[in-house]
Amino acid sequence: MTTLSLWVAWCVAAMVVAAVLTRMLIEWTTARGIIDAPNARSSHARNTPRGGGLAIVVVVVAVAVVIAALRPEELPRIAGAILPAVAIAAVSWLDDVQSLRNRTRFAVHLGAAIAATAVLGAVTRIDLGSLGMLRFGVFAWPLTVLWIVGLTNAFNFMDGSDGIAGITAAAAAAGIAAAAAACGVGPVAVIAAAFAGAAGGFLTSNWQPARIFMGDVGSAFCGFMLAVLPLTVRADAVPEVLPVAVLALWSFIFDTSLTLLRRLWAGENIFQAHRSHLYQRLLIAGWSHRAVASLYGGLAAFGATVAVAPLLDPTVRTAADQVAMATLAVVAALLITLVLVAERRGSRVAA
């Protein structure tokens, strides 16, 4: 069996197992009253069980354990990513079952990020290809911790529409898997491929109309794993793999950052539930959950493809770098434009 076939096999197996586990979780969480009830700030209209992301957690952790057993020399780095991720999943599951204080969740997120950074190492530089090397110097540690904590929470914030988190996680994880494979880091490529498959398996029950939501246990775990997987490769490959995650998740990063800044400017409580995200405003303006999830998933897949292309074919490095830089501005402008157009059209229809 070729290496590519092996990765595909892991991905498909993970997808099947996650799909089955998610369907089992629908009945299990419903029977225990782990339910999201609709309210004025929600984007769903009926009671829906949450916690389906637990299937992703189980599959990814199981695959990581198998890979660590097969490749003992990779155990320290795999453990440096998986053990803090399990801590994130545990506190998030408790939050799904019974709401925890924000400070409690944040303390665990911060501790997990520090632990992962201590084991895997801080990101000291990022390879911008033909544009040069971006070095962080003394800011490497705080920026790495900020990256992990920020993406963990950003992914959690963005999990508010059927399919949006699952499809974005699948696209980003697939991009990381391809990047790790291109850099010769097979174990990380297998875990990332299984992660992509698990997200796809969960998506079979989360696509509109969702029969179960990911819950904090899934969204926080996915955000954390997407942040640390690029750091799990060997140190010299991190500068090349990390930009893949950044570009694939840029729509999530931009949406969360813009919304956070707008709410801070307005003096709002940033931890209070709201419907101010760009994707939420698209839903309010009349977009379907399928359309919104497809938009963000498509942007993630496009970003990952642009970032991975020069790793697979160095001859396209210059062109890919230019497209990558343009993508940052284009995605931001596209999201804002789509929201403004949708809201204006909705206002006209209402009038």
Domain of residue 84 covers 9-36+49-350
In this prediction, residue 82 carries a pLDDT of 97
142 part of a folded domain: yes
In this prediction, residue 1 carries a pLDDT of 40
327 part of a folded domain: yes
In this prediction, residue 321 carries a pLDDT of 85
Phi then psi for 133, rounded to 5 degrees?
Answer: -115, 125
108 part of a folded domain: yes
For the whole model, what pTM was predicted? 0.94
Q: How many domains does the chain have?
A: 1
4 part of a folded domain: no
194 part of a folded domain: yes
Contacts of 58 (CB under 8 A, 6+ apart): 21
CA distance 166 to 214: 8
17 part of a folded domain: yes
CB-based contact 278:331 (threshold 8 Å): no
CA distance 73 to 204: 35
Structure tokens at 348: 């006209």
196 part of a folded domain: yes
CB-based contact 212:51 (threshold 8 Å): yes
CA distance 227 to 249: 10
In this prediction, residue 265 carries a pLDDT of 86
Which amino acid makes up residue 246?
A: V
In this prediction, residue 102 carries a pLDDT of 86
Helix then strand then coil, in percent of the chain rounded to 5, is 75, 5, 20
331 part of a folded domain: yes
CA distance 223 to 62: 18
Which amino acid makes up residue 221?
A: F
- Averages of pLDDT over runs of 10 residues in the chain (351 residues) are 70 95 94 76 71 96 95 93 97 89 91 96 87 87 96 92 95 95 90 96 94 94 97 92 95 94 82 83 92 97 94 86 90 94 74 53
